[in-house]
Amino acid sequence: MGAAGSKLGEFELISRYFLRGAAARADSSGVVLGIGDDAALLALPPGTELVAAVDTIVSGRHFPEMADARSIGHRALAVNLSDLAAMGATPAWATLALTLPDAQPAWLERFAAGLLDLADANGVALVGGDTTRGPLTVSVQILGHVACGTALRRNGARAGDLLAVTGTLGDAGAGLAFVGTRPASAPSAAALALIERFEYPAPRVQFGRAARGIATAAMDVSDGLAGDLPKLVRASSLAAHVAVECLPLSDAMRAAVPYALALDWAVGAGDDYELLLAVPPRRYRDLEAAAAQLNLTLTTIGELHSGSGVTWSLNGQEFQPASQGFDHFA
């Protein structure tokens, strides 16, 4: 311990790189006791339920081995914030379980910056951490709160509800494909925009909160629409139909790849972290207005009806998704 260099003590590692957020917020966001004891003590606002989720990202599986540490830190928190967004919850605290092969100061600085910048932007305090040596694995547990009984669930959708998504779909999948080619050729502006969408996803936290009381069900699209929509449909005991030509595509996507490939990515690629919502037709304008206030596009992509399963069409013709979404053990 003590001297800087490649050998950092565990406690010093945590306090040097990760205490920024915790220290700054110890008095302002319910943190009674932050990093440094056996556990954190946290005060939940009255009248709320605790909301908890965990998501892990693994090197070579969820991000390229050579990914920028800043992006890894950002994504590790973003995927968890997205889970809270999908519940309409307010994120408040996070703990970090970081397994890494060695403690390189430059890498840790960028990783912590990516994670803590996003934490600060979302009012999240890092209240606990654990660092161990091993293959690079980043597990974040996010904690937040929501007024009792108001959380958005997957199982509340009703027959006749419209299906809507925020933002655009497929960008992160396209971006990940371009990441692989980056060193070989100078990427276009469109490719760079797509790569940015993969490396720095924007969880829809504010919109999720605004959608409470309007949407009947919500989830985030992390494993691709074709993988995730069936989960919402099953939870609500309904069927869904999606009009693939309605899926929102970004200008960058349209500029960078052929239309058919863009649709495949929009249907099947993961990592976008947009929200998928069910909303009664008469409330659609309210949801749209909430999105507009956040400069977020909202697009109707289909509807829910009684039955089970998901059907897809493209301009009135049956459409067969190329991918069924990402499953780590399939």
Site for its own copies in 19-78 (CB under 8 A): 32-33, 36-44, 49-62
Signed CA dihedral, 276, 282, 283, 285: sign only = positive
**The one segment of 136-144, 241-249, 262-270, 297-305 that binds its own copies by CB under 8 A:** 136-144
Size of the site for its own copies (CB under 8 A): 75
In whole angstroms, the minimum distance from the beta carbon of 169 to its own copies comes to: 18
- 72 or 103, CB closer to its own copies? 103
Within 237-256, the residues that bind its own copies by CB under 8 A are none
In whole angstroms, the minimum distance from the beta carbon of 131 to its own copies comes to: 6
**The one segment of 65-73, 195-203, 216-224, 248-256 that binds its own copies by CB under 8 A:** 216-224
Which tokens hold the place of 110? 């960028």
147 closest CA partner among 235, 41, 44: 44
Examine residue 119 and tell whether it contacts its own copies (CB under 8 A).
no
In whole angstroms, the minimum distance from the beta carbon of 9 to its own copies comes to: 5
* Distant-in-sequence, close-in-space partners of 197: CB < 8 Å, separation ≥ 6: 171, 172, 174, 175, 250, 252, 272
Task: Return the DSSP state at 247.
Answer: S
Examine residue 157 and tell whether it contacts its own copies (CB under 8 A).
no
In whole angstroms, the minimum distance from the beta carbon of 209 to its own copies comes to: 14
- 95 or 250, CB closer to its own copies? 95
Task: Pick from 134, 180, 183, 258 the residue near its own copies by CB under 8 A.
Answer: 134
In whole angstroms, the minimum distance from the beta carbon of 260 to its own copies comes to: 27
In whole angstroms, the minimum distance from the beta carbon of 279 to its own copies comes to: 17
Q: Give the C-alpha separation, 274 to 147, whole Å.
A: 23
The C-alpha R_g of the chain, in whole angstroms, comes to 20
Examine residue 147 and tell whether it contacts its own copies (CB under 8 A).
no
Give residue for tokens 């890092």.
Answer: 126
Q: Give the C-alpha separation, 168 to 237, whole Å.
A: 27
* Distant-in-sequence, close-in-space partners of 275: CB < 8 Å, separation ≥ 6: 85, 86, 165, 166, 204, 207, 208, 211, 218, 219, 220, 221
- 188 or 308, CB closer to its own copies? 308
Within 172-211, the residues that bind its own copies by CB under 8 A are none
Task: Pick from 24, 121, 132, 307 the residue near its own copies by CB under 8 A.
Answer: 132
**The one segment of 117-125, 145-153, 176-184, 307-315 that binds its own copies by CB under 8 A:** 145-153
Within 267-296, the residues that bind its own copies by CB under 8 A are none
91 closest CA partner among 51, 55, 118, 127: 51
Q: Give the C-alpha separation, 51 to 255, whole Å.
A: 40
Q: Give the C-alpha separation, 159 to 306, whole Å.
A: 6
Residue 154 and residue 229 in contact, taking contact as beta carbons nearer than 8 Å: no
Task: Pick from 16, 182, 212, 231 the residue near its own copies by CB under 8 A.
Answer: 231
Task: Pick from 15, 29, 139, 313 the residue near its own copies by CB under 8 A.
Answer: 139
- 127 or 225, CB closer to its own copies? 127
CA atoms within 13 A on the CB side of 7: 3
